[in-house]
Every structure is written in C-alpha cells, then in structure tokens.
C-alpha cells in the first residue's frame, strides 16, 4: 500500500498514516519528529519533518473549544475525542510540558480507536466473557497497566450484549472512546466535562435513566467507586476499569482507598456485588505483534468469603482450582500460549506472576533436566 507523504502539516493526515502502520498511539512534541507506537514499540514515522510549536497550536485550534482551552491553561492538561474518518477516531491527551531552557511546550498524545469493534470471537477471547456479558447484574472489573487493552476488552463484551440482548446501555467516559451502533440494544453516551461533571455524578444520573448496563471508564476516586458498587447492588450490570496488574490486588486496591472505619463495609459490598475480576496484559508474540493474556476470577462463594475476610492474597488458589467456572491465573494462560508456540520462553517467564512455575514449564517443554538449576537465558527479572 502506498502512503501519501504530504509536505504540509495536517494532524488528520498524520493520524491516517499512523493507522495504516497499525499504530496504537501517536506522540507529537514541538521540535521532535512524529512518533508512533506499533505493537508496543516506539518508532519514528518515516520521512516526516519535525513538528513545530505552530503545528501544535494548529492541533489545539482543531480539537479544543474555549472551555477546553481554559482548562488547559488552568490545569495544564485536557483530554478530548476527535473524529478522523469512517475507519477510526482518536482519544487525544494534551498536556503542558517542559522543553528545556525554561521553555514551556505542549505534548499531544493520541490513542487510535477503531470504529469497527471486533466481537469476542474475532478477538479469540475466553468463552467465559460471553457468559459474563449476558449476566443481569453485578460488577465486572477489568485491570491492567495503561495500554494493556482494558477498554477494548470491555468494548467487545458490551458489543456482545448489543448483538444478543435488548438492553439500555449507558456509558460514562473521559473521553468517549468506542462508539457502538444500536443493534438489539440502545446506547446513551456521556462524556466527562461535556455532558456530565464527573464519573460519580454521571453514575448517579444514569440510575434515573432506566439503564440495564453501565460502563464507567475508570474507578479513579472514592465517589466513583461508591457509585459503581451502589449501581451493581441495585440490580445493574456495571463495567469498570482499574490500574492493577493482578486479580488478587484488585479488591484490596479498592478497599484501601476508603477510611479505616469504612473498609469492612466496603469489603462486604465488593464481595456481594462483584461478578468477575479480570486482569490482562499484552504479550509480544514470537512472529511479531502482541497477544492478550488474561487472569480471570469468577466470584464464587469461596472467592467472596476470602474477600470478606481480607484474604485476597489467597485468590490465586481459587483460580487454580476453578477452571470449570472459567477461571485461570495469568501464569496458566501464559503457559497455554507458550505451549502453542505463540510466545517465547523469555516472555513466558518475564510476564508471569509465578516465575518459578513458568520456568519449570519452559524447561519441561524443552525436555531439559528439570533437576538442573532454574535458568532460561536472556530473561530479565
């Protein structure tokens, strides 16, 4: 495919080029060459000139309104969505940055959001996600580091609802990312700062709008956590994200945000309304690209009891013995990817939460004497 290398600066043109390169993100800084992230790796866009301060100002004029500009000036950052064409849109984060010699600049980072939302089957996601998506109520939390695909996983689960169930789905995001077309379900989309003041206010308002399913982009603060749990407790299916790399870390990360005198009550509430905790990571594949790996906890009676009793550290044991319910630890998922020769020995061990077990698995696959010291070359710890 031929890529048109325009000589004049055009933000949408750079975005379209990044999309062709299958990039996930675009990074633009004054006096720097345009940068894109492809399968987790940073690369310079070939044959593109440096971005100037004037180019950055053009982006601000294209994307931001007067209210956004005031926020950028007062708070130093602003997040917006931007439509490019029928193939994709952007989630744009603009922030003040230090450029050296007491000079202030702006950094523009854009996440590419495809308009086509692949199904769970197209993404080859675990079958249990289909069952979870069609539950009537409860809280489903998806965790992972930034850029691990949390939003994509939830978007696919919501699309499964859209294709299979008549529901009113309300999404509250900052900013709006995936845009679903109404199929069997109907959508109401609200953006922080544009349609509603905050996640917690948006959730409270949503409860008066006859929802069946709600998406809160991220549980960032106590009020949002309270509102999400209350919504699940009152009979709704609620999706939310957190920044946590392992399932057993999720309940405690939420609980410890609350005051000491509230934590027992919150612990009980999470145990009661929780439906599933999912952690995920994107792992480099041997043949290029990345593959999603998941850790899945379904809140069975034993899992709920561990959370109530403050023993979340024992949740991996529940996952190891709960395969019939669709549960799996991250290490087990990685071992399956490794056995299928999708990921390397090094990445199996590097991304595993149980490195000793991962090393044992890798060595056994190589038919090496496992009585020898656990060692796989070129692995960083």
The 10s digit of each residue's pLDDT in 311-327 is 999 999 999 999 999 99
The 10s digit of each residue's pLDDT in 51-93 is 999 999 999 999 999 999 999 999 999 999 999 999 999 999 9
Secondary element (H or E) of residue 93: strand 88-100
Q: What is the pTM of this model?
A: 0.87
Within 10 angstroms of residue 355's Cβ, the number of other Cβ atoms is 17
Domains of the chain: 11-114 (3.30.450.90), 128-339 (3.40.50.300)
Which SS3 state, helix, strand or coil, does residue 40 take? coil
The angle that helices 355-365 and 330-339 make with each other, rounded to 10 degrees, is 20
Q: Where are the alpha helices (DSSP H) in the chain?
A: 11-20, 53-63, 66-75, 128-133, 150-164, 199-206, 222-233, 250-255, 263-273, 301-308, 315-320, 330-339, 345-351, 355-365
Does the structure show a pLDDT above 70 at 354? yes
pLDDT at 194: 83
Q: Write 38-43 long-range contacts (CB < 8 A, 24+).
A: 39/284, 39/288, 39/289, 39/290, 40/147, 40/282, 40/284, 40/290
Burial of 324 (0-12, 13-18, 19+ CB in 10 A): exposed
d(CA 24, CA 10): 19
Of the candidates 266, 200, 284, the residue with the CA atom closest to the CA atom of residue 238: 200
Of the candidates 47, 49, 36, the residue with the CA atom closest to the CA atom of residue 9: 49
d(CA 318, CA 36): 40
pLDDT at 110: 97
Sole residue written with tokens 């996600």 = 129
Give me 275's structure tokens. 């439906």
Q: Name the DSSP class of 111.
A: E
């Amino acid at each position: 495919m031929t890529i048109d290398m325009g000589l004049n600066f055009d933000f949408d043109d750079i975005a379209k080029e990044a999309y062709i390169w299958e990039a996930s993100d675009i990074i633009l800084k004054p006096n720097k060459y345009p940068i894109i992230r492809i399968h987790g790796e940073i690369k310079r866009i070939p044959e593109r000139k440096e971005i100037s301060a004037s180019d950055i100002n053009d982006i601000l004029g294209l994307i931001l309104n007067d209210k956004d500009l005031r926020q950028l000036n007062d708070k130093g950052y602003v997040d917006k969505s931007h439509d490019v064409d029928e193939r994709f849109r952007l989630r744009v984060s603009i922030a003040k940055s230090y450029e050296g010699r007491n000079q202030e600049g702006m950094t523009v980072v854009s996440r590419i959001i495809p308009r086509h939302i692949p199904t769970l089957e197209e993404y080859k996601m675990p079958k249990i996600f289909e069952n979870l998506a069609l539950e009537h109520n409860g809280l489903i939390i998806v965790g992972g580091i930034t850029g691990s695909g949390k939003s994509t996983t939830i978007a696919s689960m919501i699309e499964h609802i859209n294709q299979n169930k008549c529901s009113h789905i309300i999404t509250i995001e900052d900013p709006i990312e995936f845009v679903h077309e109404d199929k069997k379900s109907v959508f109401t989309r609200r953006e922080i700062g544009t349609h509603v003041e905050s996640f917690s206010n948006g959730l409270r308002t949503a409860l008066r709008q006859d929802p069946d399913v709600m998406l809160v982009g991220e549980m960032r603060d106590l009020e949002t956590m309270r509102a999400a749990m209350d919504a699940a407790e009152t009979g709704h299916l609620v999706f939310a994200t957190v920044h946590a790399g392992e399932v057993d870390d999720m309940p405690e990360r939420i609980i410890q945000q609350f005051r000491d005198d509230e934590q027992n009550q919150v612990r009980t509430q999470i145990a009661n309304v929780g439906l599933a905790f999912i952690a995920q990571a994107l792992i480099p594949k041997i043949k290029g690209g990345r593959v999603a790996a998941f850790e899945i906890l379904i809140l069975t009676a034993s899992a709920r009891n561990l959370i109530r009793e403050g023993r979340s550290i024992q949740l991996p044991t529940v996952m190891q013995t709960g395969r019939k319910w669709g549960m799996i630890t991250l290490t087990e998922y990685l071992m399956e990817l490794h056995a299928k020769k999708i990921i390397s020995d090094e990445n199996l061990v590097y991304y595993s939460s149980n490195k000793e077990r991962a090393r044992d698995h890798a060595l056994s696959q190589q038919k090496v004497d496992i009585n020898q010291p656990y060692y796989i070359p070129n692995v960083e710890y």
